[in-house]
């Protein structure tokens, strides 16, 4: 059975987040920090996971990593407050992000399959 390990992804995610937070920390606005987290760090965490079948435990572990960074950004403790702040900044949870990435991957795969099917008759002539 094929399994995906997410530990290395979490290590790289924390490394990228801590590097950004150390450089801009409390100097930048929360909006800038959230955008940096969304565009630079979360893709590091989710890279390649759209092809994996992750367990609920693995998804919760990835979600915890993201929530812990948002806790640090917003300086809040409870998950309820973190999720509220995330909703105010239009941030999706890990499960939603993975679902979107999988749908995008499958759509691109189907598009590639259609392109290859159209090219095969051309190649055989």
Q: What is the DSSP string of 42-64?
A: HHHHHTTGGGS---HHHHHHHHH
Average per-residue pLDDT for the chain: 88
Q: What is the pLDDT of residues 8-66, one digit of tens each?
A: 999 999 999 999 999 998 799 999 999 999 999 999 999 989 888 899 999 999 999 99
Give the chain's length: 125
Q: What is the mean pLDDT of residues 70-95?
A: 94
Q: Where are the alpha helices (DSSP H) in 1-125?
A: 7-24, 30-36, 42-46, 56-74, 79-88, 94-124
Query: Is 1 among the domain residues?
Result: no
Q: Which domain holds residue 27?
A: 7-124
The number of domains in the chain is 1
pLDDT at residue number 21:
93
Question: 58-76 in b/e burial notation, b at 16+ Cβ within 10 A?
Answer: bbeebbebbbebbbbbbee
pTM summary value: 0.82
CA nearest neighbour of 66 among 118, 124, 6: 6
- Per-residue pLDDT at 109: 81
What pLDDT, on a 0 to 100 scale, did the predictor assign at position 59? Answer: 95
The answer as to whether 39 is a domain residue is yes
Give dist(CA 24, CA 21) in Å, integer. Answer: 5
């Amino acid at each position: 059975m094929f399994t995906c390990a997410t530990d290395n992804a979490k290590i790289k995610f924390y490394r990228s987040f801590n590097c950004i937070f150390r450089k801009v920390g409390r100097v930048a606005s929360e909006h800038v920090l959230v955008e940096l987290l969304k565009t630079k760090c979360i893709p590091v965490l989710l890279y390649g996971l759209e092809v994996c079948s992750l367990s609920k435990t693995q998804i919760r572990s990835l979600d915890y990593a993201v929530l812990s960074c948002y806790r640090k950004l917003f300086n809040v403790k409870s998950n309820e407050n973190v999720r509220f702040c995330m909703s105010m900044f239009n941030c999706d949870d890990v499960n939603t992000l993975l679902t979107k990435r999988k749908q995008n991957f499958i759509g691109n795969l189907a598009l590639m399959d259609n392109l290859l099917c159209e090219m095969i008759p051309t190649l055989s002539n």
